[in-house]
Chain A
Amino acid sequence: DGGITQSPKYLFRKEGQNVTLSCEQNLNHDAMYWYRQDPGQGLRLIYYSQIVNDFQKGDIAEGYSVSREKKESFPLTVTSAQKNPTAFYLCASRVSGASTDTQYFGPGTRLTVL
């Protein structure tokens, strides 16, 4: 987990509220990613960013938004439009020099909608 921090570790949200999950990395990596993990489904890509001020939708972007104003930060907002937001959210980063570089993961944030 070293070098990538996610906060908070646990987050509770009422239905209809937007919440923002933090992801910070001090690895000087160019690329950053957000994944959602549900039991039995593996990890699914929400959004990714290869450089500052640029990001692309992943496979399940609906109901989520991101920003990339700084190289070290890639916050994820879970909006009220996300119908089933309860999940474990994982942030990752990668040196973007070669596509085969390894992605490294943060410790995750567990979001529960009450």
Chain B
Amino acid sequence: AQSVAQPEDQVNVAEGNPLTVKCTYSVSGNPYLFWYVQYPNRGLQFLLKYITGDNLVKGSYGFEAEFNKSQTSFHLKKPSALVSDSALYFCAGLTGGGNKLTFGTGTQLKVEL
């Protein structure tokens, strides 16, 4: 079965510290992976995606993600967290022959002063 997992329901980090939101995947063929962010009662906003090429992908708002094939992971990172980064983050993988996104269950990020 093809799936995407986010092992942490919530991540807490102090403002100014680096943050990591974890994602692991299990998909057949080449993995195409995405990160989205959701603020309360809003739609999802696209942050970045990995299709092929460099394992370090840079995205919006200073976020980046590291693709690791041996560990089947695609962790989201930011060098210095902001309070405004507090939101729900979703990892997703392309499945169904490229027609469907399969989402993880989401990780609530809380950045505190």
Contact = CB atoms under 8 A, between A and B. Distances in A.
Chain B contact-residue range equals 20 to 34
B103 A43 contact: yes
A26 B39 CA distance: 23
Interface in B13-30: none
Contacts, number: 61
Contact of B99 (A40, A48, A102, A108): A48
A45 B103 CA distance: 9
B82 to A, nearest CB: 21
Contacts of B105: 40-42
Interface of B: 9, 32, 34, 36, 41-46, 49, 51, 90, 92, 94, 97-101, 103-106
Interface of A: 1, 4, 6, 31, 33, 40-45, 48, 50, 56, 58, 88, 90, 92, 99-100, 102-108, 110
